Amino acid sequence: MSIVALVPAFNEATRIKATVRSTLCIPGIDRIVVIDDASTDDTSKIAREAGAEVLTLPRNLGKGAALDAGLAHVAEDADILLLLDGDLAETAAEGSALLTPILHGNADMTVATFPRTADKAGFGLVKGLARWGIARMGGGFLADAPLSGQRALSRDAWTHVTPFAFGYGVEVALTIRALRRGLRVVEVPTAMSHAATGRDLTGFMHRGRQFVHVLRALVRLAFERTPVSG
């Protein structure tokens, strides 16, 4: 049973070393591939030195395209995919909790939930849109972490929910496609943390892009035909 971790990263030089090393400590991990989405810092160099395989994209393509490139690189070998963001640092080790239900046959896709914090970076508009879309198109599934990029997928799951959606629409599309296929989606509590965006201009611009990408994914999913299972 081969377990491959895919880590999309853009300008994560300050955190990628800890992310890679912590991921490599997860029991059962066979490969970790960092997909550097044309970073302008030393993300690729640091990730490679930390022990990861590195794919460096020639230009910035966004999270979905980065994951597609990573998947194409490992598809023949991966029985289970572990998707982790590059900014998790030491908490990437919590990815082990996502693998357990898959390995025990209790889930087809697991999604990490993060501890609740008193500080909120945004106003919840993107999360609310994502949760609404999943419930509407996913048979009433109420996602606690609709935007979580930390996931594990069995081969049966990832072959049916890819290619990945554009940009930040990745997570919503993964969940909706899995639910439409009748796959078992399980949210798993973790102690993960990442570099949250703030309530400044950069943060609002980031969340604005997220909102547009999630909306774009939902529109496309509304017209996407789901293959008949079995």
**CA 152: distance to chain centroid?**
9
Q: Which two tokens stand for residue 39?
A: 């970073």
Mean pLDDT taken over the chain: 92
Give the span between the Cα atoms of 125 and 56, in whole angstroms.
32
Name the nearest CA neighbour of 206 among 196, 215, 216.
196
Give the span between the Cα atoms of 83 and 104, in whole angstroms.
18
What domains can be seen in the chain, in order of their start residue?
3-222 (3.90.550.10)
**CA 170: distance to chain centroid?**
7
pTM: 0.92
Indicate whether 198 pLDDT > 80: no
Q: At which residue do the structure tokens 């239900």 appear?
A: 101
Q: Which two tokens stand for residue 17?
A: 């070393």
Q: Which two tokens stand for residue 189?
A: 């509590």
Indicate whether 11 pLDDT > 60: yes
Q: What is the 3-state secondary structure (H, E, C) of 36-86?
A: ECCCCCCHHHHHHHHCCEEEECCCCCCHHHHHHHHHHHHCCCCCEEEECCC
Percentage of the chain modeled with pLDDT above 90: 84
Tens digits of residue pLDDT in 108-137 = 999 999 998 655 555 689 999 999 999 999
Tens digits of residue pLDDT in 151-192 = 999 999 999 999 999 988 999 999 999 999 999 999 999 999
What is residue 188's three-state secondary structure?
A: strand
Alpha helices in the chain (DSSP H): 16-24, 43-50, 63-74, 95-103, 125-137, 155-161, 170-180, 201-222
Indicate whether 229 pLDDT > 50: no
**Distances 126 to 68, 115, 141, 196, 209 between C-alpha atoms, Å:** 23, 18, 17, 14, 10
